[in-house]
Amino acid sequence: MTLPFDPAAENLTPLPHGAQNLCFGCGPANSVGLHLTFYATPDHSIVSVVTVGNQYEGPPGYLHGGIIATLLDEVMSKANRARGHVALTRKLEVEYLRPIPSTQPIRLEASLTRIEGRKLFPTARILNARGTVLATATALFIEYDPSRHNF
C-alpha cells in the first residue's frame, strides 16, 4: 500500500452513509467519534484509510485495544452492508499482531466470506503504510430487519 490514499487509482467507490447518526465509528453527528469513511472494491470488499489521533491511545504512542477492535468491527459491518445486509455483531475475535501507532495512517480492509441464513461471517485486517498486517479479526454478525427489531 502506498500513501497518500487514491481511491480512483484503486477503482474504489465511496460507500454512501445515509443516516446522520451518532455511531462512534462512522456517525458524522458524533463529535468525538472516529468519522470513518469507507470505499467498496469491485468485489464488494471494503477499504478505509484513517489516521486515529492520540486521544484514543492506550500505551503512549499506540492505539488502545478497544479502539482497534472498534475499527475492525466497523469495517466488517460495512462489508456486510456492501452486500445488502444489515446486521449486529454477535461475536468478534481480534488478533493483535503488532502495536498500532496513533497519528499514523492505517488501512482497514474487510470482506464478507460466508453467509449461513441470517449468520454473516466477515473478516478484516489493519495494515500500516508499508503493507504490514498489524491486526486481524473474524466475526459473526446476525442479520436483522431494523423495521421489525427481530434481534
Positions marked active-site: 73
70/24 Cα distance (integer angstroms)? 9
Q: Cell 449461513 belongs to which residue? A: 116
Q: Residue count of the chain, please give it.
A: 151
92/100 Cα distance (integer angstroms)? 19
> In 3D, which of 107, 111, 140 has the Cα closest to residue 4?
107
132/1 Cα distance (integer angstroms)? 9
Query: 89 near 138, Cβ under 8 Å?
Result: no
The phi, psi pair for 94, rounded to 5°, reads -115, 135
